């Protein structure tokens, strides 16, 4: 190996750990057989934590001729993504054993998806952007249909795959237009060309690129796959979908626009604001009529992605920091919500509808408190963690001159509060229907993860912000300084 190649591999060591680890886990599963699911899950968690440690302690720099960037933002995002992926493996392992569908492929697919997400947050050109997006997307398509004997899961996987192919086409068409007009794939060279030669063709390519990326984060009006996939996919898979891939896609969104097209901010900010407003409307109003909890959380994720996009639309360092803070706190709240959901069942049947939560305070008082705290946090009630995420995002948008959009976000938050308050009302004030069995004994791993996330939402977030704020500020200020 040449010294330059060794240096590049050293900079991209975290992805190397995941890729080699994923292949090794696949071999273990193939040779040991179906009984290896628990062993492979434990090893997958170890690999993901090791990759997070390697990313956190690895060197900064640019590798592979500018295709890969290791800067403070990518390092922060990778640590958050890999830890969230490890938690998803823990939640999924226990749940799938109880549902009699545990197989070693689940943790392997999450590890392989993490490779793609690492590539996404470190993309330095359009080629690595597309490779990262597709590498993680292919694993997600399979995960959506993981419960292959369930018709809804198969339908979810098929819908996700077909619509994902459409979004990939939009992404590639936008990338081809950008390359055709600029003659380069690298974000820094695209930025230099766009500064000297702004044109309509380049803006068209940028719009197609934004549309493709908006699908990946399930922002309206590119959200059509989200409710059906969230409803049909296994619950731990949906917990994974709403956390790590969302963080990776939002960081990629910020990197592609800020590094490649900062001079065209006035143009792409208008598109992002329209997407953000559409997400507010679809997420807040669409969730009002939902009865299935996972489908409700799908609409909640659409609205919350709209809030996060506001931070990118601001086009400032404060806006970028706000987006990172918001996504970090949102990941913790959502993972906690799904952990609580995974811990609830009656007669071996998972609780899926909002009505099933009636009278939960009688069976599981601590869990009832946890789900109340998480619901209030996601709706943005001060001083819980969700409030601080929205405080940063709306503040950055208002400082950038988009105070009317921030006001629209506040209105959407008030509307969305209805379905979170309905959950709290059912848990505390409604009695369980006569003849309904008590909830089953809670699985240890999901119950404690849910409680821990609720404890972070409040009161630990007050302490957590003392390290989260400076960490995100360093990540935002070091953006592109690999």
List the one residue out of 221, 232, 212, 85 whose CA is nearest residue 146. Answer: 232
Tell me, yes or no, if the pTM score tops 0.85.
Answer: yes
Asked if residues 307 and 278 have their Cβ atoms less than 8 Å apart, the reply is no
Phi, psi of 440 (to 5 degrees): -70, 165
List the one residue out of 250, 301, 244, 6 whose CA is nearest residue 111. Answer: 244
Question: Is the peptide bond preceding residue 383 cis, with omega within 30 degrees of 0?
Answer: yes
CA–CA separation, 338 and 239 (whole Å): 6
| Residue 154: per-residue pLDDT | 85
H and E: helices and strands count for the chain = 21, 4
Three-state DSSP at 125 gives strand
Q: Give the largest CA-CA distance in the chain.
A: 73
Contacts of 77 (CB under 8 A, 6+ apart): 121, 247, 248, 251, 324, 475
Asked if residues 16 and 60 have their Cβ atoms less than 8 Å apart, the reply is no
| Residue 481: per-residue pLDDT | 47
| Residue 198: per-residue pLDDT | 72
- Look at the block and give the residue holding tokens 């956190």: 56
> On the CB side of 86, how many CA atoms lie within 13 Å of its CA?
19
List the one residue out of 130, 113, 13, 107 whose CA is nearest residue 63. Answer: 13
Long-range CB contact pairs, 149-156, < 8 A, 24+? 149/101, 150/232, 152/231, 152/232, 153/232, 153/233, 153/234, 154/232, 155/228, 155/232, 156/228, 156/229, 156/230, 156/231, 156/232, 156/233
Classify residue 456 by its DSSP letter: I
Q: Given its phi and psi angles, is residue 61 left (phi above 0), alpha (psi -120 to 50 degrees) or beta?
A: left
Q: Which residues pair with 69 in a beta bridge?
A: 62
pLDDT along the chain (482 residues), means of 10: 80 92 92 85 94 92 88 93 94 80 88 94 91 92 85 85 89 91 87 79 87 89 88 90 93 89 83 93 88 90 93 90 94 92 83 84 88 91 90 92 90 88 88 74 85 90 89 82 48
CA–CA separation, 274 and 408 (whole Å): 12
């Amino acid at each position: 190996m040449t010294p330059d190649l060794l240096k590049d591999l050293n900079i991209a060591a975290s992805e190397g750990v995941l890729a080699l680890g994923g292949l090794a886990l696949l071999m273990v599963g193939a040779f040991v057989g179906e009984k290896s699911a628990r062993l492979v899950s434990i090893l997958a968690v170890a690999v993901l934590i090791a990759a997070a440690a390697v990313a956190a302690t690895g060197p900064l720099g640019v590798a592979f001729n500018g295709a890969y960037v290791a800067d403070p933002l990518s390092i922060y995002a990778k640590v958050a993504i890999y830890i969230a992926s490890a938690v998803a493996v823990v939640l999924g392992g226990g749940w799938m054993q109880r549902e009699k569908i545990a197989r070693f492929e689940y943790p392997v697919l999450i590890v392989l998806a993490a490779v793609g997400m690492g590539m996404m947050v470190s993309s330095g050109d359009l080629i690595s952007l597309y490779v990262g997006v597709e590498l993680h997307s292919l694993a997600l398509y399979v995960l959506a249909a993981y419960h292959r004997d369930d018709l809804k899961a198969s339908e979810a996987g098929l819908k996700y795959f077909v619509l994902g192919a459409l979004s990939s086409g939009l992404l590639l068409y936008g990338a081809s237009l950008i390359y055709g007009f600029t003659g380069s794939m690298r974000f820094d060279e695209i930025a230099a060309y766009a500064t000297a030669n702004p044109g309509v063709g380049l803006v068209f390519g940028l719009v197609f690129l934004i549309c493709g990326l908006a699908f990946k984060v399930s922002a309206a009006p590119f959200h059509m796959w989200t409710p059906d996939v969230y409803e049909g996919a296994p619950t731990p898979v949906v917990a994974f979908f709403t956390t790590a891939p969302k963080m990776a896609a939002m960081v990629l969104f910020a990197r592609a626009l800020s590094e490649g097209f900062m001079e065209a901010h006035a143009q792409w900010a208008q598109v992002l604001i329209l997407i953000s407003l559409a997400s507010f409307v679809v997420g807040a109003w669409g969730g009002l009529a939902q009865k299935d909890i996972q489908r409700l959380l799908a609409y909640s994720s659409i609205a919350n992605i709209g809030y996060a996009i506001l931070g990118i639309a601001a086009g400032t360092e404060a806006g970028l920091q706000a987006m990172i803070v918001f996504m970090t706190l949102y990941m913790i709240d959502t993972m906690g919500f799904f952990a609580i959901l995974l811990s609830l069942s009656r007669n071996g049947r998972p609780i899926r509808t909002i009505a099933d939560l009636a009278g939960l305070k009688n069976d599981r008082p601590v869990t009832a408190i946890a789900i109340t705290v998480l619901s209030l946090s996601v709706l943005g009630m001060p001083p819980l963690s969700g409030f601080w995420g929205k405080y940063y995002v709306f503040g950055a948008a208002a400082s950038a001159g988009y105070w009317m959009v921030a006001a629209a976000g506040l209105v959407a938050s008030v509307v969305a509060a209805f379905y979170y308050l309905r959950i709290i009302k059912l848990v505390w004030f409604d009695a369980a229907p006569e003849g309904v069995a008590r909830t089953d004994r809670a699985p240890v791993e999901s119950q404690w993860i849910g409680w821990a996330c609720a404890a972070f939402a409040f009161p630990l977030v007050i302490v957590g912000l003392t390290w989260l704020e400076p960490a995100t500020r360093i990540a935002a200020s070091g953006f592109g300084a690999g």
